[in-house]
Structure 1
Amino acid sequence: MDRRELAALLAYIGRLDPRTSRPDPGEARDQLAQWHELLGDVPMATPHGWDARTAARNHIRISPYPIVAADIGRPWESYRRDRLGRHTDPTPAVDPDDQAAWTAALLRARHAVATGCAQPAQYRAITSGQRDPELEARLREVGSCIPPAPRAALARYRPARAAREAAVAQGRPDALAVRCDWCLAPIDEPCRRRRTGPDGKARGTAPCATAHPSRLDLATAQHNQQIQQDQQPSMA
């Protein structure tokens, strides 16, 4: 606040609590200089919730003591801390390799939030277990949330998933869609190769790149049955 705004604030406070009024011109100048020194960086009001007159009125309403500059400064600092605590620093729209520009953009955003010129940027909370219909439609259109180029690059590191995706794309049965009766691998998990020690006891298992034949036979039977069920309404 500049001196003119502080003079207006002191006049407003004097109307609510005459004890703070300074009829002597010299005392009024000293009071104005003191408040300007302490509250010069505090705004009179912001677009988002702060008003020094409201802070003054709240203090006068609940406190029996005359108001001082700290009774305006404390609510202002609480206001700043609350807003910065709810801010999550969105990604600046600058080149991330330019460290100076990146830091300056973050500081500008935080300063705008702290001074009440902008609202805090918060992460959206999970409101339900359902996906956005637009996202579902987009995933059905592209087939996966992973683009084709990264998917091809990752194929060598996850052969079981790559084989499954290739089978589904070619219309062949998905072996991982059923439980394996041989190694007891659950649905969506690759088959395991059992390792036994000299004593005949299991020592560990290792994932297989391909499914066991019995699991593939079961998936094929289920796939053919599903095809027959889909064709029955059209034949009728």
Structure 2
Amino acid sequence: MDARQIAALLSYAATLDSRVRRIMATDEQAAATIRTWAQALADVPAMAEAAGWDAGRAVRRYYEQANGDRSAQFRPIEPADLLAAWAPHRAELMNRHTDPLPATDPDDVAQWRAELLGTRAAVATGQTAPSTHRELTSGIHPAIAARLASIGSYIPADTRQQLAPYRPMRAAREAAVAAGHPDPLSVPCPCQWCRAPEGEPCRSRRLGRRTTPHPTRADLAAAEAA
């Protein structure tokens, strides 16, 4: 806060505490007090919307809390009280902040570091909102999710066709669904000696995994679809 903001803040505090009014009674006392507060609170903003901070509200809260504490209510507010009130807001801003890539040439180490520290200082003093790049990793962007839903698969159709010889079971399932038939693997196989669970291919006694489902399984899938 600068001297003008400090003067306004002390004027507000004087409406809540007659002792502050007495401190500010003369021009000399007021100037000295404003100068002292401005030096102590140079890194504390008057207002920082990104952090939910308002120095005026902090002053009011100080006196509201003091009214419930008989040991503290007789002491007028001091710069240290505002520093203590601002500290958790500053910590919350820095926890949300991720250093953006400086625009300076990375070979200029001194300038690169100065820009990085300058950005952090601006966030810590409420001058700039934090750069929350972590939000980019919170999930799939809605536009991308909508496009995936519209195409129905992560793999394009032409790519699936090229992969079909290497995935015969998957290709058979996709072909059945595309033709309007039920997916046989959507139900467990009812064959007594197969019993393949839902989603897994049928088994053969001699050859192991089958590339086509048992007819009874296809019939069961059709019956359930109907």
> TM (normalized to structure 1)?
0.58
How far did 1:36 drift?
A: 1.4
Over 3 Å counting, the alpha-carbon distance change for 1:67 and 1:179 in structure 2 is same
- Which amino acid in the other structure matches residue 28 of structure 1? A
How far did 1:208 drift?
A: 3.5
Match of 1:75 in 2: 85
Give distance in 1, aligned partners of 2:127 and 2:214: 63
Match of 1:59 in 2: 62
Give distance in 1, aligned partners of 2:32 and 2:163: 73
Give distance in 1, aligned partners of 2:78 and 2:154: 60
Over 3 Å counting, the alpha-carbon distance change for 1:158 and 1:108 in structure 2 is farther
How far did 1:41 drift?
A: 2.2
Match of 1:2 in 2: 2
How far did 1:175 drift?
A: 2.6
Q: 148, 152, 163: which one pairs with 2:156?
A: 148
2:3–2:38 contact (8 Å) kept in structure 1? yes
2:94–2:130 contact (8 Å) kept in structure 1? no
How far did 1:42 drift?
A: 1.8
Residues 6-155 of structure 1 aligned to structure 2 (within 5 Å):
6-20=6-20, 21-23=23-25, 25-47=27-49, 49-63=52-66, 64=73, 65-82=75-92, 87=96, 100=102, 115=126, 139=149, 141-142=150-151, 144-148=152-156, 152=160
Matched, 1:188 2:191: no
Give distance in 2, aligned partners of 1:158 and 1:113: 56
How far did 1:100 drift?
A: 4.0
- For structure 1, the residue ranges without an aligned partner over 5 or more in a row are 93-98, 124-131, 196-206, 230-236
Give distance in 2, aligned partners of 1:10 and 1:194: 89
How far did 1:4 drift?
A: 0.7
1:173–1:219 contact (8 Å) kept in structure 2? no
Deviates more, 1:163-172 or 1:58-67: 163-172
- Which amino acid in the other structure matches residue 199 of structure 2? D
How far did 1:37 drift?
A: 1.9
- For structure 2, the residue ranges without an aligned partner over 5 or more in a row are 67-72, 104-111, 136-141
Q: How big is each residue's C-alpha offset from its partner over 1:70-116, in whole Å with a ceiling of 9 and x where there is no partner?
A: 2112222222334555x487xx8xxxxxx545x989x9799669838
How far did 1:159 drift?
A: 5.4
Over 3 Å counting, the alpha-carbon distance change for 1:226 and 1:146 in structure 2 is same
- Which amino acid in the other structure matches residue 221 of structure 1? D
Give distance in 1, aligned partners of 2:188 and 2:97: 44
1:58 alignment partner, SS class: helix
How far did 1:33 drift?
A: 2.5
- Which amino acid in the other structure matches residue 168 of structure 1? V
1:47–1:117 contact (8 Å) kept in structure 2? no
How far did 1:51 drift?
A: 1.3
How far did 1:183 drift?
A: 3.3
Give distance in 1, aligned partners of 2:4 and 2:123: 23
- Which amino acid in the other structure matches residue 220 of structure 1? A
- Which amino acid in the other structure matches residue 148 of structure 1? P
1:46–1:116 contact (8 Å) kept in structure 2? yes
> TM (normalized to structure 2)?
0.60
- Length, aligned pairs only: 191
Give distance in 1, aligned partners of 2:124 and 2:155: 36
How far did 1:15 drift?
A: 2.6
Residues 186-225 of structure 1 aligned to structure 2 (within 5 Å):
186-191=197-202, 208=209, 210-211=211-212, 215-222=213-220, 225=223
Match of 1:204 in 2: none
How far did 1:193 drift?
A: 7.0
